[in-house]
Structure 1
Amino acid sequence: MKRIISRALGAAAASVTILAGGAAALSEPRHGIAMYGEPALPPDFVSLPYVNPDAPKGGKIITGEVGSFDSLNPHIRKGRVPWQLRFLAYESLMGRSWDEPFTLYGLLAESIETGPNREWVEFTLRPEARFSDGSPVTVEDVMWSYETLGTIGHPRYHGAWQKVEKMEQTGPRSIRFTFNTADRELPLILGLRPILKKAQWEGRDFTQSGLDVIPISTAPYVITDFEAGRFVELSRDPDYWGRDLPFRRGTMNLDTIRMEFFADGTAQFEAFKAGILNSNREFNAAKWESDYDFPAIRSGQVVKSLIPHQRPSGITGFVMNTRRPLFADWRVREAMLHAFNFEYINQTQTGGAQPRITSYFSNSVLGMRPGPAEGRVRELLAPFADELLPGALEGYALPEGDGTQRNRRNLARADALLREAGWQVVDGRRVNAEGEPFAFEILLAQGSAENRAIAEIFAEALNRLGIEVTVTEVDSAQYRERTQSYDFDMTYYRRGLSLSPGNEQYLYWGCEGVEKPGTRNWMGMCSKAAEAMIERILNAESREEFIAATRALDRVLTTGRYVIPFYQFTVSRIAHDRRLKYPEKIPMYGDWIGWQPDVWWWEEE
C-alpha cells in the first residue's frame, strides 16, 4: 500500500510537484550525490580514499570527556548526551566522504535520485540493511524516523522537515521527498538523517528518553555498557550488516570504543598520563610542548601526532548576547574587542604559538579576503549597504595589541568607543546617562581552567575601563539550561564550520533564533543580509557563486562583532598509544568527525 505524508499544497508547491512528475523520466538512480558537480568516486569504488582498506580488526580506543551525561538519545533536546553517540551509534541513508567538500555515497540506501532542479529526492533502501537485532530496515522505519525527528526531535532536524511538502513510499524499498522550497542542499541533508527502529519506540515518549532505553540502530557499533555520568562503552557488532560495503571497507576497525567522563580537564589529562585513556587531543600548543614529557612518552609507548587540515577555523571565543541592551550597540561590542588583549593572552596561554581566528571561515577558501569587498562579493552585499556595519564593504580586521599587558593604545580606543555609545566614567565607574553602571557576567562551565584564566585577564583589563565584571562557573546542567534559554551576558562559544555550509547556518545565525530557545544563535543576531547570503549559498548553481556567497556571509558575521575570537587550530594534536594507527593519507577535513576512531586501527607489535 502506498503511504503518503503531505501538507496542503500552495500554488508554488503544486508547480514543483508537476515539474517533478514531468521530469521523472529524465532522472536516474545514482550511487552518490555532490553539492556541485559529480562525486569524485565512481560507482565501482573499492573504498574511501583516506582509509586503509586492509586494516586489521581488533583493539580499543579510550578517550576522555569533561562533563557528564544523563541520556543516550542524541536526537532530542532534553538531557545531556555523549556527543559521539550521534555519529557512532546511528547510520543514515547516505554516508559522507571527508575528502570532498560535500559529497555523499550510498549507505543504507543503495541509490539516490533527484529531479532536474533537486525539487525532489528519492532513496532506495538496500535489501540487506538490518538493525542490530537482526530485523530489516523498512520504508516504514525510515518514514517514521523522518517525521518523528522533524516534529518532536531536536530542533536541528526541524528546519529541513518544514521544507518537505510530501513524503511518500514509491516502491517496496523506495521513499520520495518532494520539497516546497528551492534548496539544492535538501537532498543531501535528508540523506544524512539518522534512521531509528520504529517498533522500539511504540508506547514510549520519544522526547523523554534517558538512560532507560538503549537505542537499536543499524550502526557498526552498539552500546554494551555504561554508568551514568562515568563512562559509555560501544562494541563493534560482529554481525553488522554493512561490513562488506565499499563505503565501510577499512573503517570501524576497533573492537571497543570507550568514553570516560571527568570533572575537569586536569583530571582527564592525569588519567591519560596514568594509562586509563589511550588517546588524548590537546588544544593548547604550549601544553603540547611542555606537559607531554612523562614516562609513557619517553618510552615510546605513547606517541604525538600532528594532523593538518584545510577546513574553516569556525568561531571560538566569548560571545556577547545582543538580546541584552548592554551589548545591543555595535560600538560597545567593538570596544570589547579592543579591550581583549589577544596578543598578551596568547603569549600567556600558548607561548604565542597559536594564530588568531580572523573570521568565521578563516583558514579556508571560504574565508573573507582582506581589504574592501570586490567583485561578486560586493554585488551580493550592496543591496544591504544601509544595514551593514562599518567594515563589511570597506574592509575590516580585528584590533591588534602591542603584546604588552598594558595594551594602552587599544584600551584608549575602547574608552573612546564606549563614550560614543553613551558610557562615561564617573568617579572611576563606567556609567550611562541614567547613572547605571556598566556591569556584566561572563558565564563559564565548570572544568575549563583555560577559559577561566582568559576571562580573568579580560576582566582585569575591563576593570581599568571602569567596567564591573563577574566570572561565574556553573555545573554542566546549569550551563546547558542557561545557554539554551540565552540567560547570559557573555559566555564561551564554539561553532565548528565546514567546507560545505548549508541549512545549519540558519540555526546558527537565523533571525528565528532570537526568540526561539535551543538554537545555536547565542548572540541573538537578526540580519537580513546574513539570511540572504545563506539563501544564496543554498541555491548557488556553481562553486564560484557558492564561494562568493560564503565570503559575503563571513563579512556580515565578522563585522557584526558578536564574538571575541580566541586562537584557531590549523593542526590537530593527538597523543595516543603507539598501537593505534591511522592512514598516511589525510582527508581535507583532517581530524574531523568520521576520522577518529572511524578509520583508525589497532596494530599489535
Structure 2
Amino acid sequence: MATNIFYALRATSAALALIAGSSLAYGEPMHGIAMYGTPDLPQDFVSLPYADPTAPKGGKIVTGEGGTFDSLNPFVQKGTSPWQLRYMLAESLMGRAYSEPFTLYCLLCETIDTDEDRTWAEFTLRPEARFSDGSPVTPEDVIWSYEKLGTEGHGRYASLWGQIASIEKTGDASVKFTFNTDNRELALLVGMRPILQKAQWEGKDFTQSGFDEIPIGSAPYTVTDYDAGTFVELTRNPDYWGKDVPFMRGQANLDTIRWEFFADSSLVIEAFKAGELNSHREFNVQTWDDQYDFPAVERGDVIKSIIPHERPSGMTGFVMNTRLPQFSDWRVRQALIEAFNFEYINEVQTGSQQSRITSYYSNSVLGMTSGPAEGRVAQMLAPYADDLPPDTLEGYVFPATSGSLNDRQSTRRALGLFKDAGYTVQDGVMKDARGAPYTFEILLQSGDDENQSIIDTYTQSLIQIGITPTITVVDRPQYRERSDTFDFGMTTFRRGLSLSPGNEQKTYWGSEAAEIEGSRNVMGVQSKAVDGLIETMLSSQSKDDFIAATRALDRVLTAGRYVIPIYQWNISRVAHAKELTYPKTLPIYGDWIGWQPDVWYWNE
C-alpha cells in the first residue's frame, strides 16, 4: 500500500495546523476545540480524515508484548496492567484527532463550551451515550470519575485534579468544570479523562481492584477472556452505542483484539513468524531487513508496511541520574556521552541504517534549529543566561566518532573532560583527587536484549578510560520499583513527545517533579530555564510564541546532556497479515496511539 502521499499532503499544512489564526466562537457550544485556532473539521464532518467510514466490520488482530501483567484495572496505582488497556476500556468526553497537532472532537459529549480565557469548560452529554452494560452515561458518572481518579486513581490523574476548582452538574445532561489555574490547555485536558461507571464501585475498594473487578466503560470493546500474565482478549460490542458518532465512524472495525505476553521479549518475533500473531512492530532496521524473509512474507500472506510520520523524535537512550554526585557535573555527563561510540554501535546493531536523535523535538516543526539561537528563541533564552547549560545559545550537537571500535579522538575528549572535572586515570582506574574510583551502576530490565547488547559494547569503551560500571539486571516489578524511587545511576530511557506539548512537560522535566518519587522526571532536571520556558509555552497566545518557546526548551534540555541518545524512528515498520488493512490517508502522527488497531480493518 502506498504511503508516500503522507508528506505531499501533510508536510506543509497538517503538521502546522496549530498556526491557524482564527479564534473560537466563545460562548457558543462547539463540536470540537483546538489548542490554537479552530478545529479543521466542520460540525457536520462524516469521519476523521484518516478513518474509512465504509470499512467492513470483522476479523481480528493479535499482537505480542514482552513482559507480563498482574491487573486488568489500568486506572489505579496497584499492579501492572497491559499499557493499551487504559485506551481500550473507557471513553472520554472528547476524542483526539491525530490529523491535527492538538484538537479534540466530541465523543461522549455532544458539545463543549468555554470562555475566551478558558477559565471553565462545560460539556453536554449525548443522550444516547451508554456504558457497555447498557446503562446511560450521566453527569454523576462524570463527576465521580474525575473525583475518584484524581484522589484515589493512578498518579497520572492527580495533576489535573489539583487544577480543578469545582465540578458541577448544570443540567440533566451537562457538567461544568471551573479551573483554579491560568492554563488554557485545561479546557482540552478535561475532555480526555476516562469516564467510568459510578454504580459499579458502590461499596467496593476501587484502589485494590485487579482481576476481580474489571472497570466498566463505554468503549467499543470489553475484556472477554484472559489468563493472568499470559494473554488478554477483547471483543467488539455489537451494541456499541457510538458507532454512528462522527468521531467513531470507521473506527473499532475489528471483532477481536488479543495481546499475547512473553517473559522473553525476543520470543515475540518468533511467535509472529510461527503465525501465532498477525501484526508486529519492528524497531530494529537490521532485523527488518534480515529476518523478515520467512515463507509467509515470500507468499505475500504477510505485508511489510512502512509508515512515515512528522511527530517529534522524543528521546530514547540511557539517562543519567543527576541526583547522584557522579552525574551532577555537566562535564562528566559530556565525557560519558563522548565515550559512547554511537557510530560503531549503530553499525553493529543496525548496519548503520538508523539515524541518531539530535534533540528532544527533532523531526518536527518544534525542534531546535541548527546553529546559534535567533529571533524569538534567543529573546526567550536571554532572561536565563546565567542558568543555561554550555552551548545552549550556540547550538549543542551530540559528538560523532569515526565508527571504528577504538576511536582515539573521542577517548581523548572524554579524558580531557574528566580531567577538567577533577578526575584522572591512576593505575588504570579513573579516580578523583582523593583517590576514590569513579564508578556507577547501570540498571537494566531482564529480557531487554538489545539494550543489554548496547551496554556491553559501551562498557568496553568505559573500561578503556578507567571506568568499570556495575551492571544490574532485574525483573520488571523490581525495575519499576527502583526506577520509581530513582535508585539507579544510569538506565534506559524513552520519552515520547507530541506536536502539542503541554502540562505533561512539568512532570517530565519540572523542578518540582524531580523531588517526587514515581514522577517522570527520571534524570532529576532542576533548572530555572526549563521551568520558565515551560510556563512560557503553556501561556503562549500565538503559534509563533508557542513554537519559539518549545524550540528554546528543546535547546536547554539537549544542552543539559542528561541522556545519551540512540536511534530515532522517523518511520514505523509494521509487518501484518495481508487481510489487516489501514486507510490510505495517514495522520501526521503516523503509527501512533489511536491508529492501530482503531482504524484498521479486516479485508478478506
Q: TM-score range by the shorter chain?
A: over 0.9
Residue 45 (structure 1) shift: 0.3
3-state SS of the aligned residue for 1:247? helix
3-state SS of the aligned residue for 1:447? coil
RMSD: 1.2
The residue that corresponds to 1:52 in the other structure is 52
Provide Cα deviations, 1:376-402, integer angstroms capped at 9, x if missing partner.
011111111101110111211000111
Given the alignment of the two structures, is residue 157 of structure 1 paired with residue 157 of structure 2, yes or no? yes
Provide Cα deviations, 1:106-144, integer angstroms capped at 9, x if missing partner.
000101011111011111111111100111111111011
What amino acid is aligned across from residue 466 of structure 2 in structure 1?
G
Residue 264 (structure 1) shift: 2.0
CA contact (8 A) 2:485 2:517 kept: yes
The residue that corresponds to 2:92 in the other structure is 92
The residue that corresponds to 2:3 in the other structure is none
Q: Distance in 2 between matches of 1:522 and 1:172?
A: 44
Q: How many residues align?
A: 581
What amino acid is aligned across from residue 162 of structure 1 in structure 2?
G
Give the 4+ runs in structure 1 shifted more than 4 A: none
3-state SS of the aligned residue for 1:501? coil
Q: Distance in 2 between matches of 1:536 and 1:144?
A: 33
Residue 586 (structure 1) shift: 0.7
Given the alignment of the two structures, is residue 352 of structure 1 paired with residue 352 of structure 2, yes or no? yes
Q: Distance in 1 between matches of 2:314 and 2:265?
A: 22
The change in CA–CA distance for 1:38 and 1:415 in structure 2 (over 3 A counts) is: same
3-state SS of the aligned residue for 1:61? strand
Q: What is the TM-score normalised by the length of structure 1?
A: 0.95
CA contact (8 A) 1:156 1:504 kept: no
1:189-228 to structure 2, matched below 5 A, reads: 189-228=189-228
What amino acid is aligned across from residue 39 of structure 1 in structure 2?
P
Unaligned runs of 5+ in 1: 1-24
Residue 470 (structure 1) shift: 2.0
The residue that corresponds to 2:6 in the other structure is none
The residue that corresponds to 1:101 in the other structure is 101
3-state SS of the aligned residue for 2:387? coil
Q: Distance in 1 between matches of 2:207 and 2:320?
A: 31
Residue 26 (structure 1) shift: 5.8
Provide Cα deviations, 1:350-393, integer angstroms capped at 9, x if missing partner.
11111100000000000001111111011111111101110111
The residue that corresponds to 2:31 in the other structure is 31
Q: Distance in 2 between matches of 1:61 and 1:426?
A: 58
3-state SS of the aligned residue for 1:191? coil
The residue that corresponds to 1:4 in the other structure is none
Percent identical among aligned pairs is: 62
3-state SS of the aligned residue for 1:199? helix
CA contact (8 A) 1:156 1:507 kept: no
The residue that corresponds to 2:479 in the other structure is 479
Q: Distance in 2 between matches of 1:183 and 1:455?
A: 41
Residue 74 (structure 1) shift: 1.4
Residue 265 (structure 1) shift: 2.5
Provide Cα deviations, 1:569-595, integer angstroms capped at 9, x if missing partner.
010000000000001111100000000
3-state SS of the aligned residue for 1:82? coil
3-state SS of the aligned residue for 2:547? helix
The residue that corresponds to 2:7 in the other structure is none
The residue that corresponds to 1:428 in the other structure is 428
Provide Cα deviations, 1:483-523, integer angstroms capped at 9, x if missing partner.
11111110000011000000111111111222211111110
3-state SS of the aligned residue for 1:439? coil
Q: Distance in 2 between matches of 1:523 and 1:185?
A: 26
Residue 77 (structure 1) shift: 2.2
Given the alignment of the two structures, is residue 593 of structure 1 paired with residue 599 of structure 2, yes or no? no
CA contact (8 A) 1:74 1:83 kept: yes
Provide Cα deviations, 1:136-193, integer angstroms capped at 9, x if missing partner.
1111110111111112222221112111112111111111111111111101111000
Q: Distance in 2 between matches of 1:545 and 1:464?
A: 46
Q: Distance in 2 between matches of 1:197 and 1:83?
A: 21
The residue that corresponds to 1:69 in the other structure is 69
The residue that corresponds to 1:382 in the other structure is 382
CA contact (8 A) 1:122 1:177 kept: yes
CA contact (8 A) 2:67 2:265 kept: no
3-state SS of the aligned residue for 1:444? strand
Q: Distance in 2 between matches of 1:246 and 1:553?
A: 37
The residue that corresponds to 2:186 in the other structure is 186
Q: What is the TM-score normalised by the length of structure 2?
A: 0.95
The residue that corresponds to 2:398 in the other structure is 398
1:283-432 to structure 2, matched below 5 A, reads: 283-432=283-432
CA contact (8 A) 2:26 2:114 kept: no
Q: Distance in 2 between matches of 1:276 and 1:163?
A: 46
The residue that corresponds to 1:18 in the other structure is none
Residue 347 (structure 1) shift: 0.7
3-state SS of the aligned residue for 1:297? helix
What amino acid is aligned across from residue 299 of structure 2 in structure 1?
S
CA contact (8 A) 1:338 1:399 kept: yes
Q: Distance in 1 between matches of 2:371 and 2:396?
A: 7
3-state SS of the aligned residue for 1:49? coil
Residue 424 (structure 1) shift: 1.3
CA contact (8 A) 2:439 2:468 kept: yes
1:228-243 to structure 2, matched below 5 A, reads: 228-243=228-243
- Mean CA deviation greater in 505-514 or 459-468: 505-514
1:167-178 to structure 2, matched below 5 A, reads: 167-178=167-178
CA contact (8 A) 1:310 1:588 kept: yes
Q: Distance in 2 between matches of 1:211 and 1:434?
A: 55
1:516-555 to structure 2, matched below 5 A, reads: 516-555=516-555
The residue that corresponds to 2:495 in the other structure is 495
Q: Distance in 1 between matches of 2:42 and 2:594?
A: 21
CA contact (8 A) 2:308 2:570 kept: yes
Residue 205 (structure 1) shift: 2.0
Residue 433 (structure 1) shift: 2.1
CA contact (8 A) 2:26 2:113 kept: no
Residue 542 (structure 1) shift: 1.1
Q: Distance in 2 between matches of 1:532 and 1:479?
A: 32
Provide Cα deviations, 1:446-490, integer angstroms capped at 9, x if missing partner.
112110010011111001110011222111111111111111110
What amino acid is aligned across from residue 580 of structure 1 in structure 2?
L
Provide Cα deviations, 1:55-99, integer angstroms capped at 9, x if missing partner.
000000000000000111112222111010111111000001100
3-state SS of the aligned residue for 1:121? strand
The residue that corresponds to 1:583 in the other structure is 583
What amino acid is aligned across from residue 34 of structure 1 in structure 2?
A
3-state SS of the aligned residue for 1:425? strand
